[in-house]
Structure formats: C-alpha cells, structure tokens
Amino acid sequence: MSHAVAPRHSVAPRRLTGVRQEVKHLLTPAQGSALAQAISQHVPIKTHGGFDHSWRISIYLDTPDFSMAHRALIHGSQTTKLRAKQYYNYKNGAEVYDDTYWLESKTRARSMVEKMRFRAPKADIPDILAYAAEKDGVSPEEATARLSFDKFRQGAPLLPLFIAHYRRYTYQDADSTLRITLDDACTFHLPPQGLFTSQVPVASRRHLPPPLAAESQWILEIKTVGVEPDWLAALTEDIPTVDFSKFVAGVCALHRAGRLPDAPAPQGEENICS
C-alpha cells in the first residue's frame, strides 16, 4: 500500500550546502541494508579515508538559557540548531579523528532546509563558543557561514547541550545536487565533563557517558537541489516520510531525563515531548 510523501519542490541548482529540500524516512535494519544496495546501483558511495562510512559525533549547542532547546520543545524540527561536528573512523583498532570540527547552522521550514557550515581547528573551538565565530581573512563563503552561526546565538556564549553519535553512509552524485545518507547506531549522550578544555579537548567515543536514548531504526535522509530522480522516488514511494530530527530527539531525551529546565509554553501550545 502506498503512503503519501512530502511534495517535491524544485530549487535552482546550486551546492547542497545552502538551501535544499530534505526528506526523511525511518527504516528497519533490513530495509536499510536493502535500500543501500539499491541506491548504490545509481549513485556512488562517498568514501572517508578509504572507508565506505564514517562515525559522527554531533555536538549540539545552546545558549545558557536553553533558548534553542525550548523552541524545539514547542516547534519540533521547524526551528534552528547549531552544532559542532567531528568525524572519525578506526585504523588498526584505534579511533582516528579529523584535526578540525565543522561548525554548522541549520534552519528548517517544512521540507526546506538552509544549512551553512565552516571548518575550524580544534584549538579555536573554545573561543568561538565563548565569544564569536567572525574572523578576518577568510573566503566570502566562509565569512557568510560564520556570520550565520553568530546570528542565531544573538551575542550569547554557547555550551554543549547533548551529543548525537552515529555511523553514516553517504551517496552523492557528481554535480552535488543529490545526496542520500543512511545513519544507524544513533545514540544520544550528555556531553562529557570538561569538553573543549585541556581535560577533554575532543569528544571521542571513549569519553561519552552511557546513552540517554537510542534510535533503533536507520535514518534515511534525501537531500536534493532540483528535482528528485524518478528511480529514487520509486524506491521510497511505499516508505512513509517522517518529521524526524536528531536535535528534537536529543532534546526530548534530555527533557525525559530531567536534564532540561522547563520553560512556559505559549498559550494553546504543548510540549512535543510530553
């Protein structure tokens, strides 16, 4: 039986980092494995240091008054999030990390997403979070991403809110107008004590506390600039779209664990995690 899917908008072609359409599905592990095989017949998998996947540590950030988390409690995924993202993999049994973080701002309105990001050395992260991301002598594209990051914090310092840890498989076409990602083994954690200090300079897997929550299903994200190809629409037409967000899932995990102070909901609105 077919399920209705989100409408497919057309966007003027440009890079996937920027304005794009983003549609999500949740899959069983068996569905995820089968879909990965089918997708690989059309779009090549993107390798990371010779591996067909990478592990991700996404550190979601918030102001000291939890303003972004409180908005997510009311508006769900239709909001803005800031995060610092680190990639790693294993070599000879040891965790091998990139020497930089990606810092990202991401805003969603229905299925349309605007994402801006820039790369920064690990040594710069404490100052960026405490003060501002703005920096002289960078490219116009990076300057725009840094300004976007600062716009949403509104002059406030940023603190680690929670961490999402997961494995990602990425498929991307040659002209960067289609990216398909499959995430599994997704868990949500409190930030380790002392993160971004000399005590814990990086958010390595070994430093993560036990998870507050986990997502047992695979997360399929289809990111398009332009029209989604017919072959992909056919593959997913019987899989319902979902309004899923790692940010919202992590915020709800904090809320249920009593780790997020309550904020009064506007009249007529309810906390989506209740």
Closest CA to 110 of 7, 26, 14: 7
pLDDT above 90 (res 257): yes
pLDDT interval class at 268 (50, 70, 90) = low
Q: At what angle do helices 246-256 and 67-75 cross, to 10 degrees?
A: 100
- Mean of the per-residue pLDDT values for the chain? 89
pLDDT digits (tens, 9 = 90+) for 66-100: 999 999 998 888 889 999 999 999 888 888 888 89
pLDDT above 80 (res 267): no
Tell me which of 204 and 112 has the higher pLDDT.
112
Whether the Cβ atoms of residue 89 and residue 48 lie closer than 8 Å to each other = yes
Lowest average pLDDT, out of 47-51, 246-250, 252-256, goes to: 47-51
Tell me which of 39 and 16 has the higher pLDDT.
39
User: In sequence order, which residues have a C-beta less than 8 Å from that of residue 6 and are 6 or more positions away?
Assistant: 23, 110, 111, 241
Q: Residue range 156-172: average pLDDT?
A: 97
What's the pLDDT at 204?
81
What's the pLDDT at 11?
36
pLDDT above 90 (res 16): no
Domains in the chain: ranges and CATH: 19-256 (3.20.100.30)
Give the C-alpha separation, 141 to 186, whole Å: 31
What's the pLDDT at 78?
87
Radius of gyration for the chain, computed over Cα atoms and rounded to the nearest angstrom? 19
Q: What is the DSSP secondary-structure string of 137-158?
A: S--HHHHHHHHHHHHHHTT---
Share of the chain above pLDDT 90, in %: 69
Cα–chain center distance at 64: 21
pLDDT digits (tens, 9 = 90+) for 209-239: 999 999 999 999 999 988 899 999 999 999 9
